[in-house]
């Protein structure tokens, strides 16, 4: 009976570890990026767009008078740092795609994805 309880406890602990590991480690999948860098690039671009939307929302809240100058500056600085970090990661994945002139990053990535399928 005691052995069964120990086995169940170990299985539960292992399952919980596997489920909550991405939250504790920072969102990285357990087995890495299985689909290649194109998927991670799209994920990073989505994160970047989310951070930019958060900055726009923050600016709106500040203009409406819902935030103090001190809170606004602190939050804005945090979001700008996140955006900078994401941009560095994006540039490291596919610099040749992102350096195309005249095209937004999302368009350049999507066009390169279509070319690789042909």
Provide block-wise average pLDDT over 10 residues at a time, the chain (118 residues): 87 86 65 55 89 94 93 94 90 62 54 52
Give me the residue spans of the domains in the chain: 38-118
- Is 28 strand, coil or helix? coil
pLDDT of residue 104: 56
pLDDT of residue 95: 55
Taking the whole predicted model, whether its pTM rises above 0.75 is answered as no
Other C-beta atoms closer than 10 Å to the C-beta of 2 total: 6
- R_g (Cα) of the chain, nearest Å: 21
Residues sharing a CB contact under 8 Å with residue 33, sequence separation 6 or more, in sequence order: 39, 40
- Is 101 strand, coil or helix? coil
pLDDT of residue 48: 92
> Per the structure block, which two tokens stand in for 87?
């941009």
pLDDT of residue 35: 46
């Amino acid at each position: 009976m005691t052995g069964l309880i120990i086995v169940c406890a170990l299985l539960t602990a292992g399952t919980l570890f596997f489920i909550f590991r991405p939250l504790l480690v920072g969102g990285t999948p357990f087995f890495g990026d299985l689909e290649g860098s194109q998927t991670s690039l799209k994920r990073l671009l989505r994160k970047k767009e989310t951070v930019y939307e958060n900055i726009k929302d923050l600016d709106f809240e500040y203009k409406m008078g819902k935030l103090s100058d001190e809170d606004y500056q602190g939050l804005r600085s945090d979001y700008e740092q996140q955006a900078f970090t994401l941009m560095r990661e994006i540039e490291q994945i596919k610099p040749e795609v992102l350096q195309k002139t005249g095209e937004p990053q999302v368009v350049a990535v999507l066009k390169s994805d279509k070319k690789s399928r042909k």
